[in-house]
Structure 1
Amino acid sequence: MKLQGTAYSASRIKGLAGAMDDLANGLLDMRGRYETNRAAARTALGDDDYARGYWQTHGPRLEAIGIGLGLLYEAVQREEGRLGHASSIYKAADDANDASH
């Protein structure tokens, strides 16, 4: 399909959607591993004055990293859905174009 001089391929867009799905799954796995390691660090530090000071100083940043990974996962997952939808639209347009010739 060609639109304003740019060629689009339904299969390429579908492939990109698949790559975005792989990225989303990798981010979800990374977020899980991050949270596991953060919890392990908290357990390892214990509950003495040093540990409380550490978490007071670094806890918000560490929590923000986990939240950021979650937000990135959600954004990539939404984009994968949009690309999958676009691929099906381009395929339908190509099929309709082929049928008309």
Structure 2
Amino acid sequence: MSDNNRLRDVFDAIADPTRRRLIRLLAETDEMPLHELTAPFNMGRTAVSKHLAILKEAGLVLDRKVGRETRFRLNAAPLREIQDWLAFYSRFWNTNLRRLNQLLEEEEK
């Protein structure tokens, strides 16, 4: 799914802690069936499925049918958008901390 075809914003998709936890679980394996993804949560399959649907709309999760079972896997490529956004602020803070350090060093003299 290309970035233009995503139905949901990646930032919106990862805003929920349950969805971030699902991403983490999927990042630790190649793929997982729904019943295994549901096990660590205090909620039913329907609720987990709704979270997975949101992640899928954002392009973060891919699924495939294997018999009667649906298996899910992480597609981390859309997370690059978040990484790029954070990189800007990382540079911002590094620049400002460097300026603060210079100021403090000048005041010590």
Q: By the TM > 0.5 criterion, same fold?
A: no
Q: Could you say which structure has the higher helix fraction?
A: 1
TM-score (norm 1): 0.34
Structure showing greater relative contact order (alpha-carbon pairs closer than 8 Å, 6 or more residues apart): 1
When Rg is computed on C-alpha atoms for both structures, the one with the higher figure is 1
TM-score w.r.t. the length of structure 2 is 0.31
More strand by proportion, 1 or 2? 2
